[in-house]
């Protein structure tokens, strides 16, 4: 296997270990992007602002401020938005079970 292939495989194994809580949180770093395009995430999901806000638990005013670049999502919100962008169905399922 190539070096790149080995790195990808090792990263996947680490991701699984983190997800299963088998890895000490002191031994890894979670990478949250500095910027995130909220409007692009919403449009990719083909949702209106109202539907997106209601589906994922945001205030509509907060969503509008983010999209209009009047404010930027803080770290935890960016992380949540990243998860929404990658696994929207999983987030919806988790929220519907509450």
DSSP category for residue 68: T
30-65 tens-digit pLDDT: 788 889 999 999 999 999 999 999 999 999 999 999
User: Under DSSP, is residue 85 helix (H, G, I), strand (E, B) or coil?
Assistant: helix
Over the chain, what is the mean pLDDT?
88
Dist. CA 13–CA 22, nearest whole Å:
11
Query: What class has domain 38-96?
Result: mainly alpha
In this prediction, residue 98 has a pLDDT band, given cuts at 50, 70 and 90, of low
Which carries the bigger pLDDT value, residue 8 or residue 43? 43
Question: What does pTM read for this prediction?
Answer: 0.72
Q: What is the pLDDT of residue 30?
A: 75
Secondary structure of 9-48 as H, E, C letters = HHHHHHHHHHHCCCCCHHHCCCCCCCCCCHHHHHHHCCCC
Cα(first)–Cα(last) distance of the chain, in Å?
A: 44
Residues 6+ away with beta carbon under 8 Å from 91: 56, 83, 84
């Amino acid at each position: 296997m190539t070096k790149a292939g080995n790195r990808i495989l090792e990263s996947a194994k680490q991701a699984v270990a983190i997800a299963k809580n088998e890895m000490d949180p002191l031994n890894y770093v979670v990478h949250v992007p500095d910027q995130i395009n909220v409007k692009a995430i919403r449009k990719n999901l083909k949702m209106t602002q109202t539907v997106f806000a209601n589906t994922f638990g945001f205030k509509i005013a907060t969503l509008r401020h983010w999209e209009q670049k009047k404010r930027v999502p803080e770290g935890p919100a960016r992380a949540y938005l990243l998860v929404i962008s990658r696994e929207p169905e999983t987030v919806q399922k988790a929220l519907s079970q509450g």
